[in-house]
Amino acid sequence: MTRVKRGIVTKKRHKRLLKETKGYWGQRSNIIKRAKETLLRAMAFAYKGRKLKKRDMRGLFIVRISAAAKQNGISYNQFIHGLNKAQVTLNRKMLSQLAIYEPEAFSKLAQIAQQ
């Protein structure tokens, strides 16, 4: 029976790992063990970052809406509450876009929220 050598598979796996860690500093880019540790950590941070990005963006949208609402003489919470009562279903991302690019439309929404 012939002997099975697994060097090809291992080399392929190692090459793929080193390709992903290209550009890392020092041993992190060219020593298999260090590269693997670093890549696992980087992937964990990337996963966490994708979740945090959503949170950060929502905060940014709220800040923008709040600033625009204050320019129209209404607070953020009164603005959102008024829109909910008037059954205006716009998410915060679209409201912030309106506040930046269509201030007239946003002021009309502010008037609707005040009534």
- pTM of the predicted protein model: 0.74
Q: Give me the domain span that covers residue 48.
A: 8-114
* Whole-number pLDDT of residue 65: 95
Q: Is 2 within a domain?
A: no
Q: Mean pLDDT over residues 110-115, rounded?
A: 89
At 2, the pLDDT band (50, 70, 90 cuts) reads: confident
Number of domains into which the chain is organized: 1
Task: Please answer whether residues 90 and 63 qualify as being in contact, where contact means their C-beta atoms are separated by less than 8 angstroms.
Answer: no
Can you tell me the distance from the alpha carbon of 106 to that of 4, in angstroms, rounded to the nearest whole number? Answer: 70
Can you tell me the distance from the alpha carbon of 114 to that of 74, in angstroms, rounded to the nearest whole number? Answer: 8
Q: Is 1 within a domain?
A: no
Tell me how far CA of residue 50 lies from CA of 27, 54, 56, 57, 78, in angstroms.
Answer: 27, 7, 10, 11, 31
Q: Is 106 within a domain?
A: yes
Q: What is the DSSP letter of 4?
A: P
- CATH number for the domain spanning 105: value is 1.10.1900.20
